[in-house]
Amino acid sequence: MKIIHHPIGIIHSPFTDLADMPIQPTGAASAPGTVELFSEYVEGLKDLDGFSHIILIYHLHQARRVSLTVTPFLDSEPRGIFATRAPTRPNPIGLSIVRLLKIEGNILFIEALDILDGTPLLDIKPYVPAFDGHPEARTGWLERTQARLSKTRSDGRF
């Protein structure tokens, strides 16, 4: 079974290289970026400007291979791909929750960006703490390493 998706826009960011990127949005609080939604979808943006955070779902277009275990940036041990956010996934779908600053026409101004410049956008969803916030969640292998997150940058290993 094949599921076919089409880009609905392009994400623009300061990051043109897989190396030296923030590895998650919390490491990139001051990095600005834009989402260019293709004009035929602009009607779908109605009311989105009331949300301070949005979920971007995108195609990890630079992920060229699949690897079911990876050694994450924050770790020295191989972990199952589904226990990481690394890009070498069976379906290279990326997910970031970013702050929405403003919308002008088909351009969304965002910050806190960990996305490669030119990334094809698949979907935008509103971020809703009542659905998406689980502050009590346990985070397994990441628990020992989270404190280092905001200072860690990628090194191009994927």
Q: Contact residues for a second copy (CB under 8 A)?
A: 1-8, 24-26, 41, 43-55, 57, 59, 68-69, 78-85, 89-91, 93, 95, 97, 120, 122-143, 146, 149
Q: To the nearest whole angstrom, how small is the minimum distance from the Cβ of residue 32 to a second copy? A: 18
Concatenating the DSSP letter of every residue in 54-120 gives EEEEEE-TT-----SEE--TT-SS-EEGGGS--S--SS-EEEEEEEEEEEETTEEEEES----TTEE
Q: How many C-beta neighbours within 10 Å does residue 22 have? A: 23
Closest distance to a second copy from the beta carbon of 154 (Å): 14
DSSP conformation class of 135: T
State the CB neighbour count (10 A cutoff) for residue 97: 15
Could you tell me the smallest distance in angstroms from the CB atom of residue 158 to a second copy?
A: 15
Least CB distance to a second copy at residue 34 (A): 15
